[in-house]
């Protein structure tokens, strides 16, 4: 055991500012290891928190070797803590018990994946993907982002190659990719604290597993180079889903030609055995497409493109700015030409995907949206909605088909 340094401590440890280093071998904790605020601990060797070990980091810990947790790894929520994975070589993160961290830095320039996640880790603060890919799917671990957790610096050089889990009620962009490409997907904010969603990106053709020829008739093209899985793994809340594209690396160019309104989020419907259209609001600057409402199911998603006959037409004009101040200008959501299409419906949702307004035969009998709720999003119906960004969904029959238009609606303050 001469090559192993054991820490078997039964009282608070490192209640002072300073640096503690194990120069060689393995650092082992079998007692209580407490890193106080303002303390920097540098572990030059592997760190092993044994089954009886209780390790609480409220300061700053630099880990240059492998990390294993079979005991308790935690932090004080009032104090936080910073863990830096900066290895000399590739680092294994293992353990039979999930390790709870607050802020985490991944910085490792060694051959990728620099971080091999065999055990589960949970992050409650921010994960800084400065350098190095965290791979978990082939090693059996998983990375979990708790409510309000964030991530920064994700890029093609640093992301999660495998599964990422998001818990809680905040919206979230999954820091996921495959191989050498970071290709995120995002969810809107669920309204259930017990919500959990799991995301993964695949840089491969989905056709072998989910045949592209089996698709709804309005879908012309399905992305044949990439797909995502997003599963609801906890809670009852539903979300809107955002997919990203990159025409220079992973996304087929034929999906992104004019008209851009044809780009959609499509989902493999297991029960129907076919790809279905979940709709889409495009952001050409961010290179994303977002479902205008909560998706109708979960599982496999990718990008698709509608046939020309199903594209929105120019026979209606949508004025998506609303300033309900009673001055006679932009006081309601004006849709020019909508009354020429009997059978139309108009729905409006807030950014959490909650319906705040719905009507049929829009503007036929004074039934227009004036920024007042007719749903459950506010304290009561007939309440004025706050200024901000909303989604609209307009559907109407046209030449034997149903046209579906969706996009952003902006409510400005009436003050």
Joined tokens for residue 24: 């060689």
pLDDT, tens digit, for every residue of 284-304? Answer: 889 999 998 889 899 999 999
1-5, 151-155, 410-414: the lowest-pLDDT one: 1-5
pLDDT at residue number 308: 76
User: Which strands, in side-by-side order, build the sheet including 172-174?
Assistant: 172-174, 185-187, 241-244, 288-290, 281-283
pLDDT at residue number 378: 43
pLDDT, tens digit, for every residue of 131-177? Answer: 999 999 999 999 999 999 999 999 999 999 999 999 999 999 999 99
Contact at 8 Å (CB) between 339 and 367?
Answer: no
CA atoms within 13 A on the CB side of 145: 25
Residues in contact with 4: Cβ distance below 8 Å, sequence separation at least 6, in sequence order: 25, 26, 28
Q: Domain ranges in the chain?
A: 4-310, 317-411
Q: How far apart are CA 253 and CA 261, in angstroms?
A: 15
Q: Is 308 helix (H, G, I), strand (E, B) or coil?
A: helix
Spell out where 323-370 has E strands: 334-336, 345-349, 355-360
Joined tokens for residue 156: 């093609």
DSSP bridge partners of 391: 349, 408
pLDDT at residue number 80: 94
Class of domain 317-411: mainly beta
pLDDT, tens digit, for every residue of 245-275? Answer: 999 999 999 998 877 778 999 999 999 999 9
Joined tokens for residue 311: 């594209």
Q: Is the pLDDT of residue 334 over 50?
A: yes
144-153, 176-185, 391-400: the lowest-pLDDT one: 391-400
Q: Measured at the alpha carbon of residue 281, what is the angle toward residues 280 and 287, in degrees to the nearest 5?
A: 105
pTM: 0.79
Ramachandran angles phi, psi of 70, nearest 5°: -115, 5
């Amino acid at each position: 055991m001469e090559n192993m340094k054991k820490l078997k401590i039964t009282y608070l440890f490192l209640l002072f500012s300073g640096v503690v280093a194990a120069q060689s071998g393995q650092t082992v904790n079998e007692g209580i290891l407490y890193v106080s605020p303002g303390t920097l601990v540098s572990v030059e060797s592997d760190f092993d928190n044994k089954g009886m070990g209780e390790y609480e980091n409220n300061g700053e810990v630099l880990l240059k070797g492998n990390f294993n947790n079979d005991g308790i790894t935690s932090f004080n929520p009032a104090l936080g803590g910073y863990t830096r994975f900066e290895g000399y070589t590739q680092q294994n993160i293992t353990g039979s018990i999930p390790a709870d961290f607050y802020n985490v830095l991944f910085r490792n320039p060694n051959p990728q994946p620099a971080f091999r996640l065999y055990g589960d880790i949970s992050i409650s603060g921010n994960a800084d993907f400065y350098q190095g890919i965290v791979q978990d799917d082939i090693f059996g671990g998983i990375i979990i982002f708790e409510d309000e957790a964030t991530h920064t610096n994700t890029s093609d050089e640093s992301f999660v190659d495998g599964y990422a889990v998001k818990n809680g009620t905040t919206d979230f962009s999954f820091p996921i990719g495959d191989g050498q490409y970071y290709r995120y997907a995002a969810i809107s904010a669920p309204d259930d604290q017990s919500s959990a969603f799991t995301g993964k990106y695949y840089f491969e053709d989905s056709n072998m597993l989910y045949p592209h020829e089996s698709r709804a008739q309005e879908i012309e093209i399905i992305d044949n180079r990439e797909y995502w899985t997003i599963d609801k793994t906890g809670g009852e809340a539903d979300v809107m889903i955002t997919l990203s594209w990159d025409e220079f690396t992973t996304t087929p160019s034929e999906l992104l030609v004019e008209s851009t309104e044809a780009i959609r989020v499509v989902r493999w419907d297991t029960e129907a055995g076919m790809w279905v259209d979940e709709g889409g609001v495009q952001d050409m600057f961010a290179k994303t497409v977002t479902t205008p409402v909560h998706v109708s199911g979960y599982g496999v998603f990718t990008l698709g493109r509608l046939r020309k006959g199903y594209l929105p037409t120019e026979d209606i004009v949508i004025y998506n700015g609303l300033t309900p101040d009673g001055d006679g200008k932009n006081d309601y959501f004006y849709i020019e030409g909508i009354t020429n299409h009997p059978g139309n419906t108009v729905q409006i949702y807030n950014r959490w995907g909650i319906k705040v307004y719905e009507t049929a035969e829009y503007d036929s009998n004074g039934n227009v949206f004036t920024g007042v709720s007719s749903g459950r999003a506010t304290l009561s119906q007939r309440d004025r909605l706050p200024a901000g960004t909303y989604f609209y969904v307009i559907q109407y029959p046209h030449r034997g088909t149903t046209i579906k238009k969706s996009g952003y609606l902006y409510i400005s303050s009436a003050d």
